[in-house]
Structure 1
Amino acid sequence: LQAPASFLLTCDLPNEAVLLTEKTTVTLKNIEISVELFFVLLEKTRVTVGENFSITEHNDNEDCIREHGMMGETPLWLERRWAVSSLTLENIERMAPNSIGCVLERFDLSDTGLINILPKLRIHGDCEIEVFCLSADEKEHVAEVLAQETPFCVGRVKEMWLTDYAASVITKMSLKDCEIELLCLYAPRKEHVSAVLAQEKPFCVGRVKKMWLRDYAASVITKMSLKDCEIERLDLYAPRKEHVAEVLAQEKPFCVGRVKEMWLTDYAVGFITKMSLKDCEIEHLSLDATRREHVAAVLKQKKNFCVGRVKKMKLTGYAANVITKMTIHEDNTMENFVLAGNEDQFSRILKKGDKSIDLGRIRTGGLHVPERIKRKLRYTLVDGEGKEVLEEEEPSQRGNLLE
């Protein structure tokens, strides 16, 4: 068989066999094909995408080629975890943005140049993606995406996980009107997010219920436009000093919007001093530091920082000492205040004078601290109506939280 120079793929296939090779230009327009057939064509031929082209879920019991609009809106699982040929990458590069229609249910591309197909997808606006995962251990895997000037839409996403170089892809998405239940960024190397941290203009992540940023990705929080956002839970985790160095060095505070629960772990505890929280109301603030150096930068600073209004606060390990540098809003009433750790981790507090650390008002039954620490604190117990009450020893306070 001799391969033709060009081939228009239609529903009416020729009766005789046709040989398609890497020298054959296959045109896809006014047609819908299964995702499996699409990837075969990308790998083996020169693909040109025209108007009215879509991909859909592959089904062994159905035709993989149909007229455009005939397959309906079958949700698609687009998943690949291996390298692709140079021909595939050339095909993707030639495609126009938003030229491949699809309805996505799950999107998972790991360590593959196929990630660069993202801006080429025309994702149906009404679809809801259960899980959206990108992982790129090489910069080339996301190079074309990051070179895009026009942001692309990914529709509504429940969970979004971006790892390594793929963490930077968040800046190229159009998420202004989106609502994401869980956003996770993980960048173990600085170069994974260096492009994000270098940009001056903040980017929008839409409405995010839960956000988890790890390692160098924790610093990306400073580049997000969160002023009008309301986050149910924000987790920042930075196990190494380098992960937070740039943020701690900056003088200008950054805004995290309205956060219901904030969890800062290890070196990320230092971020609390750089946040603009004076007029914020946090339902639950948790700081946890397993090593002394995790909070060294916080304890070294001369000026106290304000955490605004906090309903519940838990300081664990060496993070307990941060209370000596903290100012709580004067109108605040805490429902619950917990210090947990061992005596060595409370060393900074124990050196303070009695009643020298002001906690403000605390609801009766809400103070959970070791007895040796208790005398260092200055606070007023109030009832449910905010009226001052005499302190009484309660069973929950008799125990020793020193572990």
Structure 2
Amino acid sequence: KLELSLFAINILPKLALHEENEMKEFILSAEKKEYVSKVIRAENSSIWLGKVKKMELFRYAINVLPKLQLHEENVMDEFCLSADRIEYVSEAILAENNNIWLGKVNKLDLKLFAINILPKLKLHEENVMEEFSLSAEKEEYASEAIRAKNNSILLGRAKKLELKLFTINILPKLVLHEENEMEEFCLNAEKKEYVSEIIRAENSSICFGSVKKVTLFRYAINILPKLHEKNVMEELCLSVDRIEHVSEVIRAE
């Protein structure tokens, strides 16, 4: 376990870990930028960590992420980022998309502004997640992910996919494994702006494979024309209490 806080985080570039190093936990928390100033100046992918089971980065420590290098066969139980201010991710979002290697990750937990890091992450093509869930009360929490190209964020396989509020607009950006089998896919959009990006997507452009149960509430129902014909659903549940919730579906050809 490696846990650094305050100015100790700046020692990170000086550490030389074994090439076959394995860590149960890697935790960094920095409330001030100066706590990570030395690390931020390091070259990308220059700090070798090896294999890490659980990684947690908080506040300014998230900006260290592009500097880290994980083993090509890394398997992570949990990857957690939390940022309640945009400056906590200001350096990390400058990284190239699909460039921060994580390997296989069972649980991907991104909160608040940290959701903007999603396009930067690179997961193993055979990655399997029990659940992938995102929620953003403010559009700025997910703006970088929403601006990403469609079908550019590779997730692998996800058994449960749940997007809430503004993160629903990330859906066209996601790519699931072509043989993905999902237990549940759930979207609930109380406001039209939560699905505005999806409405602009091409029809039949969103593919999530085989799903046992799809549940769509309110404005989320307007994604129906966007779903690819290859999607296989055992159960489809729709809930609407206003006509505008289905306006896009009605207009679809």
TM range (shorter): 0.7 to 0.9
Aligned equivalent of 2:91:
195
Aligned equivalent of 1:364:
none
Letter in 1 for 2:90: S
Q: Is 2:115 the counterpart of 1:221?
A: no
**1:294 offset after TM fit, Å?**
5.2
User: Structure 1 stretch 118-127 or stretch 181-190: which is displaced more?
Assistant: 118-127
User: Structure 1 stretch 285-294 or stretch 196-205: which is displaced more?
Assistant: 285-294
Q: What does residue range 85-100 of structure 1 map to in structure 2 within 5 Å?
A: none
Q: Is 2:66 the counterpart of 1:171?
A: yes
Write the distance in 1 (CA, Å) between the matches of 2:76 and 2:89.
Answer: 21
Aligned equivalent of 1:344:
241
Are the structure 2 counterparts of residues 168 and 252 from structure 1 closer, same or farther at C-alpha, using a change threshold of 3 Å?
Answer: same
CA contact (8 A) 2:117 2:145 kept: no
Q: Point out which structure has higher relative CO (alpha carbons under 8 A, 6+ apart).
A: 2
1:281-313 deviation digits (Å, cap 9, x = unpaired): 242453444631552414642633312413234
Write the distance in 2 (CA, Å) between the matches of 1:259 and 1:223.
Answer: 18
**1:280 offset after TM fit, Å?**
5.7
**1:251 offset after TM fit, Å?**
4.2
Q: 1:306 aligns with which of 200, 206, 219?
A: 206
Cα RMSD after superposing both structures: 3.2
Write the distance in 1 (CA, Å) between the matches of 2:116 and 2:243.
Answer: 28
Write the distance in 2 (CA, Å) between the matches of 1:118 and 1:170.
Answer: 12
Write the distance in 2 (CA, Å) between the matches of 1:346 and 1:165.
Answer: 45
CA contact (8 A) 2:133 2:162 kept: yes
1:228-264 deviation digits (Å, cap 9, x = unpaired): 2413133323221112223333445313141223332
Write the distance in 2 (CA, Å) between the matches of 1:345 and 1:115.
Answer: 52
Are the structure 2 counterparts of residues 122 and 302 from structure 1 closer, same or farther at C-alpha, using a change threshold of 3 Å?
Answer: closer
Are the structure 2 counterparts of residues 156 and 194 from structure 1 closer, same or farther at C-alpha, using a change threshold of 3 Å?
Answer: same
Give the match's secondary structure for 1:306.
Answer: coil
Write the distance in 1 (CA, Å) between the matches of 2:59 and 2:188.
Answer: 25
Are the structure 2 counterparts of residues 323 and 253 from structure 1 closer, same or farther at C-alpha, using a change threshold of 3 Å?
Answer: closer
Give the match's secondary structure for 1:344.
Answer: coil
Letter in 1 for 2:194: V
Write the distance in 1 (CA, Å) between the matches of 2:214 and 2:8.
Answer: 44
CA contact (8 A) 1:306 1:329 kept: no
Letter in 1 for 2:139: K
Q: 1:234 aligns with which of 126, 129, 132?
A: 132
Q: What does residue range 39-78 of structure 1 map to in structure 2 within 5 Å?
A: none
Q: 2:144 aligns with which of 228, 237, 246?
A: 246
**1:171 offset after TM fit, Å?**
1.5
Are the structure 2 counterparts of residues 318 and 219 from structure 1 closer, same or farther at C-alpha, using a change threshold of 3 Å?
Answer: farther
Larger radius of gyration: 1
Q: Is 2:55 the counterpart of 1:153?
A: no
Letter in 2 for 1:148: A
Q: Is 2:8 the counterpart of 1:141?
A: no
Write the distance in 1 (CA, Å) between the matches of 2:199 and 2:155.
Answer: 27
Q: How many residues align?
A: 247
Letter in 2 for 1:209: N
Aligned equivalent of 1:123:
17
Q: Is 2:87 the counterpart of 1:204?
A: no
1:149-195 deviation digits (Å, cap 9, x = unpaired): 25222233222111111112222211133211110111222222222
CA contact (8 A) 1:285 1:310 kept: no
CA contact (8 A) 2:202 2:226 kept: no
Give the match's secondary structure for 2:212.
Answer: strand
Are the structure 2 counterparts of residues 200 and 124 from structure 1 closer, same or farther at C-alpha, using a change threshold of 3 Å?
Answer: closer
| Greater per-residue strand proportion | 2
Write the distance in 1 (CA, Å) between the matches of 2:69 and 2:213.
Answer: 35
Structure 2 unmatched ranges of 5 or more = none
- What TM-score do the two structures reach when normalised by structure 2? 0.80
Write the distance in 2 (CA, Å) between the matches of 1:108 and 1:288.
Answer: 37
Write the distance in 2 (CA, Å) between the matches of 1:250 and 1:351.
Answer: 23
Write the distance in 2 (CA, Å) between the matches of 1:165 and 1:242.
Answer: 17
Aligned equivalent of 1:369:
none
Letter in 2 for 1:195: E
CA contact (8 A) 2:171 2:198 kept: no
Letter in 2 for 1:271: I
| Greater per-residue helix proportion | 2
Write the distance in 1 (CA, Å) between the matches of 2:126 and 2:189.
Answer: 30
Write the distance in 2 (CA, Å) between the matches of 1:229 and 1:148.
Answer: 31
Write the distance in 2 (CA, Å) between the matches of 1:279 and 1:174.
Answer: 28
CA contact (8 A) 1:179 1:208 kept: yes
**1:127 offset after TM fit, Å?**
5.6
Are the structure 2 counterparts of residues 227 and 127 from structure 1 closer, same or farther at C-alpha, using a change threshold of 3 Å?
Answer: closer
Q: 2:7 aligns with which of 107, 110, 113?
A: 113
